[in-house]
Amino acid sequence: MEMEELREELIETIQAHYERRELSEIKLVLNELNPADIAEVLEDFPNQRLLFFRLLSKENAAETFVELDPDTQETLLHGITDTELREVLDEIYIDDAVDIIEEMPATMVKRILKNTDSETRRSINALLKYPEDSAGSIMTPEYVDLKKGMTVEDAFKRIRRTGVDKETIYTCYVTDDSRHLLGVTTVKELLLHEYDDIIEEFMETNVIYVNTLDDQELAAQQLSKYDFLALPVVDMEERLVGIITVDDALDVIQEENTEDIQKMNAMLPTEKTYLKTTVFETWKSRFPWLLLLMVSATFTGSIITGFEEKLATLTILTAFIPMLMDTGGNSGGQASVTIIRAMSLGEVAFKDYFRVVWKEVRVGLVCGLSLAAVNFVKIWLVDRLLFHNSEITLIIDVAICLTLVVEIVFAKFIGCSLPMLAKRVGFDPAVMSSPFITTIVDAVALLLFFGISSAVIPQLH
């Protein structure tokens, strides 16, 4: 809350200055802020965006531009001159330029590329060619490279000379003349060694890297696993072509989490933030799964239709359908979500399939038995004795509770199996989640309920 109050206060201050046309005051206030906060202010003043943007120092302007929403970036790009654009482009890192370009219409891309020097343009074009969501698409070619024969002093000279344009200088890569990775060291290591020590003598030679075509999620996981600040990316010939920094890995992790959560809940992933997504875009992401699940649920309906005659002779059974369907769906959903998450965190792989199934079946049995016990007593005490529902017999109570146990075990089994099998054959496991599992379990729960009831309840024979 405190945070939000501070922000509102800031907005009011700027508004007041603006109303009194005190632009030099606004300039002072804005340039004091962190670029991420300046970006928020610009988003809050849609009509003054360009004016405020022009009050920023060169460095702040560039860093703020990177933080803005693509829509705001586009509006600003329409307003600023080529000179201003060049100043922004000179300051920003190449991976950020690529991110911006990917969201712009073709004419704007042309204008951006026209205003970069030829070397940067070449780098940008190379990065644009990598497939979406690949390590190559999020890397930056701006890293510090050293040679193995350098002394610590040489290294610092090189960093001082070239470091200003590098996204991170703290991890330094040692390469040979054809850019093959020989080793890696850090500024911390360099600082803790003597000036005349040779890099080769203390560099880490077991270098962990990813390939340009590896998934960006893998890159982020590696960075997180090894607690690195940057991860090197190599091409097919194992030559160093770029690095991925930890702040980009963080963004990837949040993005992938959001995507997983959307898929797990029957939505197609959307890239924009919630309030920026239009009603139609939101509809597009939600309708297909709703439709598919609605159609599937009509099959469940036809199972009921097939049993209608018997249900008519013992209508009380209908009252238990929602409970059986919901509990089965929730049980299966729990299992599937747990497994999907464990797989995406790398805790579980396909080789663990039988261990997972064995565990889920036992969990299912314990959950089933405990819920059935509660239910058995509840049906007898509440429905039968309290509400005098004479239709309920002991054997009906047993049939319901038996269905519960079997369906929960089945739900846990199918809930953990489908995501693992989906991943095995190359599908995204996240879509094999609650809503999908629920639809299957619903149908199975009804078949079990009607099957078991028909078998054990004498009235239905």
Residue 286 engages a second copy in binding (rule: CB under 8 A):
yes
Q: How far is the CB of 242 from a second copy (least distance, A)?
A: 18
Judged by CB under 8 A, does residue 384 bind a second copy?
A: no
Q: Of 297, 381, 394, 455, which one interacts with a second copy (CB under 8 A)?
A: 297
> What is the per-residue binding string for a second copy in 183-202, x denoting contact by CB under 8 A?
----xx--xx----------
Residue (84 or 360) nearer to a second copy, CB: 360
Residues 6+ apart with CB under 8 A from 34: none
Residue that the structure tokens 């693509």 belong to: 70
| The only residue of 16, 208, 377, 455 in contact with a second copy, by rule CB under 8 A | 208
The residue among 118 and 280 lying less far from a second copy, judged by its C-beta, is 280
Selected binder of a second copy within 226, 237, 458, 461 (CB under 8 A): 226
Q: Pick the binder of a second copy from 80, 357, 359, 456 (CB under 8 A).
A: 359
Stretch that binds a second copy, among 48-56, 81-89, 330-338, 453-461 (CB under 8 A): 330-338
Query: Is 224 one of the binding residues for a second copy (CB under 8 A)?
Result: yes
Q: Which stretch binds a second copy (CB under 8 A): 80-88, 231-239, 318-326, 451-459?
A: 318-326
Tell whether residue 399 is a contact of a second copy (CB under 8 A). Answer: no
Query: In the set 348, 414, 418, 420, which binds a second copy (CB under 8 A)?
Result: 348
How far apart CA 360 and CA 414 sit, in angstroms, is 9
* HEC-encoded secondary structure of the chain: CHHHHHHHHHHHHHHHHHHCCCHHHHHHHHHHCCHHHHHHHHHHCCCCHHHHHCCCCHHHHHHHHHHCCHHHHHHHHHHCCHHHHHHHHHHCCHHHHHHHHHHCCHHHHHHHHHCCCHHHHHHHHHHHCCCCCEHHHHCECCCEEECCCCEHHHHHHHHHHHHHHCCCCCEEEEECCCCEEEEEEEHHHHHHCCCCCEHHHHCECCCCCEECCCEHHHHHHHHHHHCCCEEEEECCCCEEEEEEEHHHHHHHHHHHHHHHHHHHCCCCCCCCCHHHCCHHHHHHHHHHHHHHHHHHHHHHHHHHHHCHHHHHHCHHHHHHHHHHHHHHHHHHHHHHHHHHHHHHCCCCCHHHHHHHHHHHHHHHHHHHHHHHHHHHHHHHHHHHHHCCCCCCCHHHHHHHHHHHHHHHHHHHHHHHHHHHHHHHCCCCHHHCCHHHHHHHHHHHHHHHHHHHHHHHCHHHC
Q: Which stretch binds a second copy (CB under 8 A): 71-79, 102-110, 369-377, 449-457?
A: 369-377
**12 vs 247, which CB is nearer to a second copy?**
247
Question: For a second copy, which residue of 24, 305, 454, 459 counts as binding (CB under 8 A)?
Answer: 305
Nearer Cβ to a second copy (69/87): 69
Q: Is 378 in the site for a second copy (CB under 8 A)?
A: yes
Edge to edge, what strands does the sheet with 171-175 contain?
Answer: 144-146, 171-175, 181-186
Residue of the chain from 371, 398, 421, 447 that contacts a second copy (CB under 8 A): 371
φ, ψ of residue 210 to 5 degrees: the values are -120, 165
Q: How far is the CB of 329 from a second copy (least distance, A)?
A: 8
Would you count residue 58 as binding a second copy (CB under 8 A)? no
With CB under 8 A as the rule, give the number of residues binding a second copy. Answer: 112
C-alpha span between 213 and 129 (Å, rounded):
11
- Binding status of residue 159 toward a second copy by CB under 8 A: yes
We find the least distance from the C-beta atom of residue 331 to a second copy, in angstroms, to be 6
State the Cα–Cα distance between residues 139 and 247, nearest whole angstrom. Answer: 11
Closest CB 125 distance from a second copy, rounded Å: 26
Residue 427, interface with a second copy (CB under 8 A)?
A: no
390 touches a second copy by CB under 8 A: no
Nearer to a second copy, 63 or 84 (CB): 63
Considering only residues 31 to 50 of the shown chain, the ones binding a second copy according to CB under 8 A are 32-34, 36
Choose which of 246, 432, 452, 460 interacts with a second copy (CB under 8 A). 246
Out of 338, 403, 417, 453, the only residue in the binding site for a second copy (CB under 8 A) is 338
Q: 121 or 158, CB closer to a second copy?
A: 158
Could you say whether residue 377 binds a second copy (CB under 8 A)?
no
Please select the residue that binds a second copy; options are 78, 114, 160, 239, rule is CB under 8 A: 160
Q: Which stretch binds a second copy (CB under 8 A): 46-54, 108-116, 226-234, 450-458?
A: 226-234
Cβ neighbors of 305 (< 8 A, separation 6 or more) are none
Kindly state whether residue 27 participates in binding a second copy, applying the rule CB under 8 A.
no
Taking alpha carbons only, the member of 236, 320, 268, 185 closest to residue 435 is: 268
